[in-house]
A and B are shown apart, each in its own frame.
Chain A
């Protein structure tokens, strides 16, 4: 069975692409056959985060317009051969994606025996975001503990339960998870940032993981190596936990507490 997962948020810049890349790699590390698709037409970025930007020959829109085969457009990851990337096109044409086209590509991925197809949604609630979520079986709603992000994710939760194929056909609803990213425990403790419990209480859905704000994320993007592969980074370890939970394992939440500043780290910086 192929599972279609959308990574979405409403608000921009909250960590959808960072999360898509790491979750895709995490699932591939577990031996799953994974494809990750960049739905952000016009603003291709997933390829950079995955580190395959120079290997994009054909893109998602080329496949939809049948200018190449799906096989030609899927970029095989250099680290995991069971992981594939489908890049967004750089076209400015907003209508480049069609519902029928997206459905055809997703069906083809299903026929190819993919276990997971991740759809990295663009920000907003326009066509790209709509198509990224339409065929989803599961949604990972990326949210920052910040007012506008939380409100926007609630909008998205509403759309997930009304404007998706599962909603329209009356099938079992899209499974929904929250992924809290850019979490800063020190600021939560100081009362400057909403806590995981605050966000959970407002949105009322289950939390798949909490990804701390981490310097490792910038280094990972710089290098084109998704942060989940950086075992020295708390964000990487937190993504690893989130992927395990997605696969049904139980993992305690980590990195929720502010690191205590001991005398050593005070002296030497951290």
Chain B
């Protein structure tokens, strides 16, 4: 980056964004590849169940099979929307209905 770019204001550093996005998606795909065939289906069905109660987005659910010593652990993380977002979403849903 030249001094000129520096003076214009340094551009956003995007490599770290790329790394973070890849870290998540690669982990997700590897765990899907390393057997249980039911994982994608499980993810879909869980998403549908969770959505009955909370309005979460598709990317809010992260499901992976991890090794913990001799055990395999099903690791499920669901990021819930924050309160204001959830309220806005509910209001929008009510309007659509």
Contacts and interface: CB of A to CB of B under 8 A. Distances in A.
B24 interface: yes
A55 B59 contact: yes
A270 B4 CA distance: 7
Given A222-B15, A222-B17, A224-B21, A57 B2 contact: no
Contacts of B28: 54
Interface residues of B, number: 23
Given A54-B25, A269-B3, A269-B4, A221 B58 contact: no
Given A54-B24, A55-B57, A219 B2 contact: no
B4 A55 contact: no
Nearest to B15: A222
Main secondary structure of the interface of A (DSSP, over half): helix
A246 interface: no
Interface in A60-83: 75
A138 B59 CA distance: 34
Interface residues of A, number: 21
A268 B15 contact: no
A90 B26 CA distance: 12
B91 to A, nearest CB: 17
B2 A223 contact: no
Interface of A: 48, 53-58, 75, 90, 218-219, 221-224, 264-265, 267-270
